[in-house]
Protein backbone atom coordinates (compact mmCIF):
# COMPACT_ATOMS: atom_id res chain seq x y z
CA UNK A 1 0.00 0.00 0.00
CA UNK A 2 1.38 3.38 -1.01
CA UNK A 3 1.43 6.18 1.56
CA UNK A 4 -0.14 9.51 0.66
CA UNK A 5 1.05 12.48 2.74
CA UNK A 6 -1.41 15.35 3.07
CA UNK A 7 0.50 18.26 4.59
CA UNK A 8 -0.86 21.58 5.83
CA UNK A 9 1.25 24.67 5.14
CA UNK A 10 0.57 27.50 7.61
CA UNK A 11 1.89 26.54 11.03
CA UNK A 12 3.08 23.17 9.70
CA UNK A 13 5.45 23.36 6.72
CA UNK A 14 5.87 27.04 7.55
CA UNK A 15 6.31 27.40 11.32
CA UNK A 16 4.24 30.62 11.29
CA UNK A 17 0.63 31.08 10.19
CA UNK A 18 1.43 33.38 7.29
CA UNK A 19 -2.16 33.78 6.15
CA UNK A 20 -3.41 34.90 9.56
CA UNK A 21 -0.43 37.21 9.93
CA UNK A 22 -1.15 38.71 6.51
CA UNK A 23 -4.64 39.72 7.64
CA UNK A 24 -3.35 41.19 10.91
CA UNK A 25 -0.64 43.13 9.10
CA UNK A 26 -2.78 44.69 6.36
CA UNK A 27 -6.32 44.85 7.77
CA UNK A 28 -7.61 48.38 8.31
CA UNK A 29 -10.07 48.49 11.20
CA UNK A 30 -12.63 45.84 12.06
CA UNK A 31 -10.60 44.34 14.91
CA UNK A 32 -13.57 43.56 17.14
CA UNK A 33 -15.65 42.11 14.32
CA UNK A 34 -12.76 39.99 13.08
CA UNK A 35 -12.24 38.62 16.58
CA UNK A 36 -15.93 37.79 16.81
CA UNK A 37 -15.93 36.01 13.46
CA UNK A 38 -12.79 34.06 14.35
CA UNK A 39 -14.38 32.85 17.58
CA UNK A 40 -17.53 31.88 15.67
CA UNK A 41 -15.42 29.90 13.19
CA UNK A 42 -13.59 28.03 15.95
CA UNK A 43 -16.94 27.16 17.50
CA UNK A 44 -18.19 25.79 14.18
CA UNK A 45 -20.77 28.51 13.54
CA UNK A 46 -19.29 29.54 10.18
CA UNK A 47 -16.94 27.90 7.69
CA UNK A 48 -13.43 29.02 6.83
CA UNK A 49 -14.51 30.34 3.42
CA UNK A 50 -16.97 32.75 5.03
CA UNK A 51 -14.36 33.78 7.59
CA UNK A 52 -11.71 34.39 4.92
CA UNK A 53 -14.01 36.46 2.73
CA UNK A 54 -14.95 38.64 5.71
CA UNK A 55 -11.37 39.07 6.92
CA UNK A 56 -10.09 40.00 3.48
CA UNK A 57 -12.76 42.69 3.11
CA UNK A 58 -10.75 44.75 5.61
CA UNK A 59 -7.38 44.18 3.94
CA UNK A 60 -5.75 47.02 2.02
CA UNK A 61 -2.56 45.94 0.23
CA UNK A 62 -0.87 45.93 -3.18
CA UNK A 63 0.53 42.81 -4.77
CA UNK A 64 4.18 43.96 -4.32
CA UNK A 65 3.51 44.66 -0.63
CA UNK A 66 1.94 41.22 -0.20
CA UNK A 67 4.88 39.57 -1.96
CA UNK A 68 7.44 41.38 0.18
CA UNK A 69 5.57 40.37 3.33
CA UNK A 70 5.46 36.71 2.28
CA UNK A 71 9.18 36.72 1.42
CA UNK A 72 10.03 37.56 5.05
CA UNK A 73 9.10 34.00 6.13
CA UNK A 74 10.82 30.63 5.89
CA UNK A 75 9.69 27.02 5.93
CA UNK A 76 10.72 24.20 8.27
CA UNK A 77 14.34 23.40 7.27
CA UNK A 78 13.67 19.67 7.72
CA UNK A 79 10.85 19.65 5.15
CA UNK A 80 13.22 19.26 2.18
CA UNK A 81 14.71 16.09 3.68
CA UNK A 82 11.22 14.72 4.28
CA UNK A 83 10.31 15.42 0.64
CA UNK A 84 13.43 13.58 -0.52
CA UNK A 85 12.39 10.53 1.49
CA UNK A 86 8.86 10.65 0.09
CA UNK A 87 10.22 10.78 -3.45
CA UNK A 88 12.69 7.96 -2.82
CA UNK A 89 9.84 5.71 -1.66
CA UNK A 90 7.55 6.80 -4.50
CA UNK A 91 4.94 7.92 -1.98
CA UNK A 92 2.42 10.64 -2.78
CA UNK A 93 2.66 14.15 -1.34
CA UNK A 94 0.21 17.04 -1.52
CA UNK A 95 0.56 20.38 0.21
CA UNK A 96 -3.09 21.12 1.04
CA UNK A 97 -3.80 24.56 2.44
CA UNK A 98 -6.77 26.75 3.23
CA UNK A 99 -4.31 29.61 2.77
CA UNK A 100 -3.07 31.15 -0.47
CA UNK A 101 -0.79 30.23 -3.34
CA UNK A 102 0.73 33.74 -3.48
CA UNK A 103 2.97 32.93 -0.52
CA UNK A 104 3.07 29.11 -0.58
CA UNK A 105 4.47 28.64 -4.08
CA UNK A 106 7.28 31.23 -3.85
CA UNK A 107 8.47 29.90 -0.48
CA UNK A 108 8.60 26.34 -1.81
CA UNK A 109 10.39 27.48 -4.96
CA UNK A 110 12.95 29.40 -2.91
CA UNK A 111 13.87 26.11 -1.22
CA UNK A 112 14.05 24.18 -4.50
CA UNK A 113 10.70 22.50 -3.87
CA UNK A 114 8.61 24.14 -6.56
CA UNK A 115 7.84 20.68 -7.97
CA UNK A 116 5.79 19.69 -4.91
CA UNK A 117 2.05 19.65 -5.75
CA UNK A 118 0.02 22.37 -4.02
CA UNK A 119 -3.72 22.74 -3.51
CA UNK A 120 -4.66 26.15 -2.08
CA UNK A 121 -6.84 29.20 -2.50
CA UNK A 122 -6.04 32.07 -4.86
CA UNK A 123 -5.71 35.77 -4.12
CA UNK A 124 -6.42 38.50 -6.65
CA UNK A 125 -4.93 41.92 -5.99
CA UNK A 126 -6.75 44.86 -7.53
CA UNK A 127 -7.21 48.49 -6.56
CA UNK A 128 -5.36 48.06 -3.27
CA UNK A 129 -7.65 45.23 -2.20
CA UNK A 130 -7.11 41.51 -1.70
CA UNK A 131 -9.91 39.43 -3.21
CA UNK A 132 -9.88 35.74 -2.23
CA UNK A 133 -10.87 33.11 -4.79
CA UNK A 134 -11.73 29.49 -4.00
CA UNK A 135 -11.27 27.21 -7.04
CA UNK A 136 -11.85 24.07 -4.96
CA UNK A 137 -14.81 25.31 -2.93
CA UNK A 138 -17.27 22.99 -4.68
CA UNK A 139 -15.49 19.93 -3.30
CA UNK A 140 -15.54 18.44 0.17
CA UNK A 141 -17.60 19.83 3.03
CA UNK A 142 -18.74 23.00 1.28
CA UNK A 143 -17.73 25.19 4.26
CA UNK A 144 -13.96 25.32 3.84
CA UNK A 145 -12.29 27.45 1.22
CA UNK A 146 -10.19 24.41 0.28
CA UNK A 147 -11.50 21.34 2.10
CA UNK A 148 -8.75 18.84 2.94
CA UNK A 149 -11.34 16.11 3.29
CA UNK A 150 -11.69 15.98 -0.51
CA UNK A 151 -8.09 14.95 -1.38
CA UNK A 152 -7.97 12.68 1.68
CA UNK A 153 -11.07 10.84 0.47
CA UNK A 154 -9.80 10.60 -3.11
CA UNK A 155 -6.45 9.22 -1.95
CA UNK A 156 -8.13 6.59 0.23
CA UNK A 157 -10.48 5.62 -2.60
CA UNK A 158 -7.40 5.02 -4.76
CA UNK A 159 -6.08 2.57 -2.16
CA UNK A 160 -3.50 4.78 -0.45
CA UNK A 161 -2.75 4.92 3.28
CA UNK A 162 -3.43 8.60 4.04
CA UNK A 163 -1.42 10.55 6.63
CA UNK A 164 -2.66 14.03 7.60
CA UNK A 165 0.02 16.36 8.98
CA UNK A 166 -1.28 19.61 10.44
CA UNK A 167 -1.60 22.06 13.29
CA UNK A 168 -4.93 23.86 13.00
CA UNK A 169 -8.69 23.80 12.82
CA UNK A 170 -8.68 23.86 9.01
CA UNK A 171 -7.17 20.35 9.11
CA UNK A 172 -10.20 18.78 10.77
CA UNK A 173 -11.88 17.52 7.60
CA UNK A 174 -8.71 15.78 6.45
CA UNK A 175 -8.04 14.35 9.90
CA UNK A 176 -11.50 12.76 10.05
CA UNK A 177 -10.75 10.70 6.94
CA UNK A 178 -7.00 10.02 7.20
CA UNK A 179 -5.64 6.68 8.38
CA UNK A 180 -3.06 8.44 10.55
CA UNK A 181 -2.92 11.98 11.94
CA UNK A 182 0.23 13.82 12.98
CA UNK A 183 -0.84 16.88 14.92
CA UNK A 184 0.21 19.76 17.10
CA UNK A 185 -1.42 22.97 18.30
CA UNK A 186 -5.15 23.40 17.81
CA UNK A 187 -5.44 20.22 15.72
CA UNK A 188 -3.93 18.14 18.52
CA UNK A 189 -6.34 19.71 21.01
CA UNK A 190 -9.29 18.98 18.74
CA UNK A 191 -8.22 15.37 18.13
CA UNK A 192 -7.91 14.80 21.87
CA UNK A 193 -11.35 16.32 22.50
CA UNK A 194 -12.90 14.20 19.72
CA UNK A 195 -11.21 10.99 20.83
CA UNK A 196 -9.40 10.77 17.49
CA UNK A 197 -6.04 8.97 17.55
CA UNK A 198 -3.10 11.24 16.73
CA UNK A 199 0.68 11.35 16.95
CA UNK A 200 2.65 14.43 18.06
CA UNK A 201 5.33 16.06 15.92
CA UNK A 202 7.61 19.06 16.31
CA UNK A 203 9.16 19.22 12.85
CA UNK A 204 9.28 17.24 9.64
CA UNK A 205 12.22 15.32 11.06
CA UNK A 206 9.62 13.75 13.38
CA UNK A 207 7.30 13.15 10.42
CA UNK A 208 10.14 11.39 8.57
CA UNK A 209 10.76 9.27 11.65
CA UNK A 210 7.06 8.35 11.80
CA UNK A 211 7.28 7.16 8.19
CA UNK A 212 9.69 4.45 9.37
CA UNK A 213 6.93 2.92 11.48
CA UNK A 214 4.57 2.39 8.54
CA UNK A 215 4.23 -1.10 6.99
CA UNK A 216 6.53 -1.70 4.05
CA UNK A 217 8.84 1.22 4.80
CA UNK A 218 12.10 -0.75 4.42
CA UNK A 219 10.91 -2.56 1.33
CA UNK A 220 9.77 0.70 -0.23
CA UNK A 221 13.20 2.30 0.01
CA UNK A 222 15.04 -0.87 -0.99
CA UNK A 223 16.51 -1.58 2.44
pLDDT, tens digit, for every residue of 54-85?
A: 999 999 999 999 999 999 999 999 999 999 99
pLDDT of res. 179: 97
Categorise residue 14: left if φ over 0, alpha if ψ from -120 to 50, beta otherwise: beta
Please state the three-class secondary structure of 103-130 as a single string: HHHHHHHHCCCCCCCEEEEEEEEECCEE
Asked if residue 218 has pLDDT above 80, the reply is no
Torsion of CA 123, 147, 33, 18, to 10 degrees: -50
pLDDT, tens digit, for every residue of 164-185?
A: 999 999 999 999 999 999 999 9
Share of the chain above pLDDT 70, in %: 97
Asked if residue 149 has pLDDT above 80, the reply is yes
Can you list the alpha helix ranges (DSSP code H) found in the chain?
18-26, 31-42, 48-56, 63-70, 79-89, 101-110, 149-157, 172-177, 185-194, 204-211, 217-220
pLDDT, tens digit, for every residue of 90-138?
A: 999 999 999 999 999 999 999 999 999 999 999 999 999 999 999 998 7
pLDDT, the chain, mean: 94
1: confidence class by pLDDT, cuts 50, 70, 90: confident
Amino acid sequence: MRTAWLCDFDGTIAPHDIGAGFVRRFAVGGDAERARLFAEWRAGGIGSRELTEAECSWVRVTQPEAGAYAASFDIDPTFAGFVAGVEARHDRLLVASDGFEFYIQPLLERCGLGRVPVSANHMRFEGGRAVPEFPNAGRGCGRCGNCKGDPARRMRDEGDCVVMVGDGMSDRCGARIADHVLARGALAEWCAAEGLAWHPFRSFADVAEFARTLPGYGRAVGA
